Amino acid sequence: MRLSMTTWVVCPLLAATLAFAGSIPSTRVEGNYVEARTAEVYTGPCFANSEVGLVGDLAVLGWKVTRGSWQGVKLDGLGVVAAIKASATLGDVTSSAYPVKSVLIIDERADAAQREALKNFARRMGGDLLDNIVRVEYRPIELEVENGNVLGGVAKLQAGELARIETRAIETRDCVCSNEELYYLPLTKVGELKAAYTLAHSFQGKGLGVSWESPYKRSAFIADFSYQE
């Protein structure tokens, strides 16, 4: 009889727990990521030291969700891009890059719920870098990684007329001192990654007080990402 009473107590609690868990909106997304900066990320220490404090305070980050949902909102195939203006070289361990301001570009194909979900997703992935979003734009966003292989080093990102990144693999001819290394890591959490050579990197929008073009540098990353909570 005691066993029976215990069973009657536990089972409703278990059922209530399962029902509560089932009511939590799902957040699980995965996809591809591209980043480009105005400082080289794959370089020799001497070259990096010559840039720090002078460049590298500007960057474009782009995510494309290949599949998944953010708090129950499906985001398959949609993208979001952030253009960042920092106060110093991003990633420099000797000096703070803050305060940082950013412009967010959200895929114009998204409906109202998806736009809000993409904004929240970008803020979570970008962390402190996207704490101060000064402007939000809506444009068509395309992000393609050649053959879906981030290690190939070839990718294209286009956010309307506002932002662009195009990369190729880093080749032997791109090495200068033969002492190059991955000097900086990506600005957000990623999975498999590859540094790449930047053929195009630009931001031509409003809100940051500056626009830029910074091609022909070893200044990009291609990666995949997976996030769940």
Segment 28-43 shows an average pLDDT of 97
* Confidence bin at 179 (pLDDT 50/70/90): confident
* Residues in contact with 166: Cβ distance below 8 Å, sequence separation at least 6, in sequence order: 155, 156, 157, 198, 199, 200, 201
Highest mean pLDDT among 46-60, 147-161, 164-178 belongs to 147-161
pLDDT at 90: 97
Distance CA 77, CA 157 (A): 14
Q: What is the pLDDT of residue 12?
A: 52
Give the tens place of pLDDT for each residue, 203-223: 999 999 999 999 999 999 999
pLDDT at 140 over 90: yes
**Does the pLDDT value for residue 34 go beyond 90?**
yes
What pLDDT sits at residue 23?
53
**What pLDDT does residue 85 have?**
98
Sorted by where each begins, the domain ranges of the chain are: 25-228
Q: What is the mean pLDDT of residues 96-125?
A: 97
pLDDT class of 202 with cuts at 50, 70, 90: very high
Band (3; pLDDT cuts 50, 70, 90): very low
Report d(CA 56, CA 27) in Å as an integer: 33
Write down the residue that tokens 């985001």 correspond to: 75
Rounded-to-integer distance, Cα 49 and Cα 126, Å:
25
Average pLDDT over residues 147-153: 94
Q: What pLDDT is attached to residue 2?
A: 45
Instruction: Please name the residue that has the structure tokens 């979900």.
Output: 117
Q: What is the mean pLDDT of the chain?
A: 90
Backbone angles phi, psi at 214, to 5 degrees: -140, 70
CA–CA separation, 49 vs 54, rounded Å? 10
In this predicted structure, the answer to whether residue 193 has a pLDDT above a threshold of 90 is yes
Q: How does DSSP classify residue 76? A: T
Which of left, alpha, beta for 207 (phi over 0: left; psi -120 to 50: alpha)?
left
| pLDDT per position as a tens digit, 41-78 | 999 887 888 898 899 999 999 999 999 999 999 999 99
- Measure the CA–CA gap between 102 and 83, rounded to whole angstroms: 5
More reliable by pLDDT, 134 or 7: 134
pTM for this predicted structure:
0.88
SS3 category, 211? coil
Residues 10-21, mean pLDDT to the nearest whole number: 46
Tokens of 108: 């114009």
pLDDT above 70 (res 184): yes
